[in-house]
Amino acid sequence: MDQQYWIGQAKTAAAISGIPWEWIYAQWAHETGGYTSDVLLEYNNAGGLMRSDLQDYMTFPTVGAFTDYWANYIKLYAPDGVYDATTPDEYAAKIRSGGYYTDTLANYQKGMAYWLSTIGGAGTSSPFSLPVANAAGGIAPTSWADRLNPLSWLQAGLTALLDLLGRYMFALIGSVLFVLGILVLNKNTTEKILRQKGDE
């Protein structure tokens, strides 16, 4: 397991979802047995997300695609109170009440607590008061005051944009070159047709 890689993925998800990255990291680690499960390795699925028919796990083309999907998916648990949770234990209880998992609450909380301990705890994090370690990465606003500050949102948005650009840079460059190639070809073809008409 590359801990820093998964912390980075959790921070990306936190910037989109508003859930503390520590909780996300611990939840995914619990779901995957320390980021080693077959579901993760075969499906790029760190969250144990099932298909709508509940017959198998969802498959993602990349871990980044999973991260983006999960960060938006977890927002569906807002009516269950995930954004009211002030501790990881409360967060685990809220997502269980929404049907995210069927494991016992005690086991899920114990698993998350263990994985939180591997990154220094953060057992009292809250979506509305993220720890300094999270803010230092420039990933998400750190308090209600910061959440009302447009510069905090701009910073979080730019961080997410730069992450996406980094992931899709080659595709973006390829697309731009393709469009430029078509434009140049179209211009050359147009000039050739005009020359031919002029010669007639």
The pTM of the full predicted model, rounded to 2 decimals, is 0.62
Alpha-carbon span 12 to 62, nearest angstrom: 14
φ, ψ at 3 (rounded to 5°): -60, -45
Extract the tokens encoding 81.
Answer: 């109170």
| pLDDT tens digits for range 86-144 | 999 999 999 999 999 999 999 999 999 999 999 886 544 444 333 333 333 333 433 43
| pLDDT tens digits for range 34-72 | 999 999 999 999 999 998 888 899 999 999 999 999 999
| pLDDT tens digits for range 146-194 | 444 555 556 656 666 666 666 666 677 777 777 777 777 777 777 777 6
Count the residues in the chain.
200
Asked if residue 31 lies in contact with residue 16, where contact means CB atoms within 8 angstroms, the answer is: no
pLDDT of residue 134: 36
- Residue ranges per domain, the chain? 3-142, 149-200
Adjacent-strand bridge partners of 160:
none
Alpha-carbon span 33 to 160, nearest angstrom: 27
Sequence-distant (≥ 6) Cβ neighbours of residue 113 within 8 angstroms: 26, 88, 89, 123
CATH T-level assignment (fold) for domain 3-142: Lysozyme (1.10.530)
